[in-house]
Copies of this chain bind each other. A is one copy, B any other.
Amino acid sequence: MVVELINTGSELMLGRVLNSHQQWLCRQLADRGYVVSRQVAVADSAPEIAQAVREALSRADLVIATGGLGPTSDDLTRDAIAGLLGKKLYEDAAVIAHIRNLFAQRRRPMLESMRVQALVPEGALVLGNSHGTAPGLAVEIRPNPFRNADRPAWLIMLPGPTRELRPLFAESVVPLLQRVFPLENTFVCRTLRTIGMGESMVEEKIAKPLGSILSRGVQIGYCAAPGRVDIRLSAAGTNADQLIAEGEGIIRTLLGNAVFSVGDEELEAVVIRLLTERKQTLAVAESCTGGYVAHRLTNVSGASAVLRAGWVTYSNEAKQQSLGVQTATLAQYGAVSEPVAREMAEGARRIGQTDFAIATTGIAGPTGGTPEKPVGTVFIALASSQGTQAWKFFNAWDRTTFKEVTTQQALNQLRLLLG
């Protein structure tokens, strides 16, 4: 079965926004066994959209297109696809009622421009949008004039806003796919996330020992990101589960605690999980990471039971006043130093009355470096009932990557201690 994805939007082609639909839909589809083989993005242009859909229908059994169903003048997908398929559009009474109802709930008048969202190509299924105005649309193309008349295809159109697309996919598209494309073959994909080694080193350690499962049809992929390397194993067929489990076992044996999670669990989620299991608490004292450690931790539902307090102490005064860092320590060693990192962690643990405290201090750049402490210099400290440990790192990246890598290192030290 061939699956293709089309994302429409001039903002994509002009590079104004990230294409998060691409990742999310590919992930949702792959997890259910429908692996996307090609993704295409085009501008809000009716001819470009029609051409992309025509080409996808010449190859695929299932085509999913996102965007261009809204009420503004650059929403062209509905018309482009109706034109391509030679189908008329009619105004669907149930959709109009739904839109009216939404506006009534919000106690606002319904703008006349909203009506266009109720236009449906003849014969299409309407996929109700519980979080917005424009419904999804699904059309069975039978016969399929673009490929092979005997192989029908499905074309599914989804609205662009993320908070509408995601529930609509889960509520309406997944049941439709399971009905019209029941899968005979299991597909298993598992990602092991590692930290502490480069991509080549990871491969050097595991590729040969994995030879036997790779020769039995398992695919392997490596992906390096700031502060981590992901190893991805995937396989199809009845023994896919067993092969992947075997591969995971080999990797875990060889890489040990460099593997920090499986199945895309984020490092912050691992830390919150371990602390929750142990009923222990955490405080964070951040200088150079500027709140990013706390932000990552509080992205995890349940963080409130674990993260008792956090400080963003960019200035020396804040380090002294909020965390009790000594004036003499700042004067003697400077704010970016191991002794200050230690005092920050110890102060956070003492004042927050927590089991653990993490502290970061460093030079994110682009300015502020010196010959002795160049941009990228970082000290991380971790205070616990067993005392305080500290590490020096050199993360000479751009500001964004610096924060990403430094938070990753800080969370990892705590993970290793909790191990």
Query: Which A residues form the contact surface with B (CB < 8 A)?
Result: 9-20, 22-30, 35-44, 48, 52, 70-74, 111, 113-114, 161-163, 189, 191, 199-201, 203-204, 207, 219-226, 230, 232, 234, 264, 284, 286, 289-295, 297-299, 301, 303-304, 307-315, 317-318, 321-322, 351-353, 364-368, 397-401, 403
Chain B positions within 8 Å of A22 at CB level: 12, 15, 18-19, 22, 41
A204–B108 alpha-carbon span in the complex (Å): 14
The 9 closest A-B pairs by CB, nearest first: A290-B298, A15-B27, A291-B294, A310-B312, A15-B26, A291-B291, A309-B318, A291-B295, A294-B312
A37-B13, A73-B203 known; A312-B290 Cβ under 8 A: no
Q: Please, how many angstroms separate the alpha-carbon atoms of A298 and B36 in the complex?
A: 38
How many protomers of this protein does the assembly include?
Answer: 2
Closest B residue to A70 by CB, please name it.
B199
Report the minimal beta-carbon distance from A233 to chain B, rounded to whole angstroms: 11
- Chain B residues with Cβ under 8 A from A317's Cβ? 308-309, 353
Q: How far is the CB of A196 from chain B (nearest CB, A)?
A: 14
List, in ascending order, chain B residues with CB within 8 A of A399's CB: 299, 301
Cross-chain contact of A222 among B40, B74, B303 (Cβ < 8 A):
B74
Residue of B nearest to A399 (CB): B301
Task: Known pairs A163-B226, A290-B303; list 14 more (Cβ under 8 Å).
Answer: A14-B27, A18-B18, A18-B22, A22-B41, A38-B48, A73-B203, A111-B204, A162-B401, A163-B398, A163-B401, A284-B291, A292-B295, A309-B312, A309-B314
Shortest Cβ distance from residue A264 to the other chain B in the assembled complex, whole angstroms: 7
Q: Are B48 and A29 in contact (CB under 8 A)?
A: no
Which chain B residues lie closer than 8 Å to A293 at the CB level? 291
Contact between B73 and A220, CB atoms less than 8 A apart: yes
Decide: A17 near B309, CB < 8 A? Known: A70-B199, A114-B200.
no
Given A72-B222, A292-B291, are A16 and B264 neighbors across the interface (CB < 8 Å)? yes
Q: Report 14 cross-chain contacts, Cβ distance below 8 Å, ordered by A residue.
A: A12-B39, A14-B232, A16-B191, A16-B232, A19-B23, A284-B312, A290-B310, A291-B312, A292-B295, A294-B295, A299-B399, A307-B312, A307-B314, A309-B322
- Which of B44, B223, B294, B315 meets A304, CB within 8 Å? B315
A14 nearest CB neighbor, chain B only: B30
B residues less than 8 Å from A401 (CB atoms): 162-163
Give A158 Cβ to nearest chain B Cβ, in Å: 15
A184-B42 Cα distance, complex, nearest whole Å: 24
Most chain B CB neighbours (cut-off 10 Å) among A43, A191, A200: A200
Q: From residue A396, how far is it (CB to closest CB) to chain B in Å?
A: 10
Interface residues of chain A: helix, strand, loop or mixed (majority): mixed
**Chain B residues, CB < 8 A from A23:** 12, 15-19
Cβ contacts under 8 Å, A311 to chain B? 309-312, 322
- Tell me how far the C-beta of A410 lies from the nearest C-beta in chain B, rounded to whole angstroms: 13
Beyond A220-B73, A309-B311, is A230–B16 a contact (Cβ under 8 Å)? yes
**What residues of chain B lie closer than 8 Å to A113, measured between beta carbons?**
200, 203-204
User: Is B403 within 8 A of A299, CB to CB?
Assistant: yes
Indicate if the CB atoms of A367 and B301 lie closer than 8 Å: yes
Contacts A293-B291, A314-B298 known; A35 to B17 CB distance under 8 Å? Answer: no
Q: Are B19 and A19 in contact (CB under 8 A)?
A: yes
A313 to chain B minimum Cβ distance, whole angstroms, is 6
Q: How far is the CB of A366 from chain B (nearest CB, A)?
A: 6
Closest-CB distance, A96 to chain B (whole angstroms)? 16
A13 to B44, CA, bound (A): 23
Kindly report which residue of chain B lies nearest to residue A111, judged by CB atoms: B200
The smallest beta-carbon distance between A90 and chain B, in angstroms, is 22
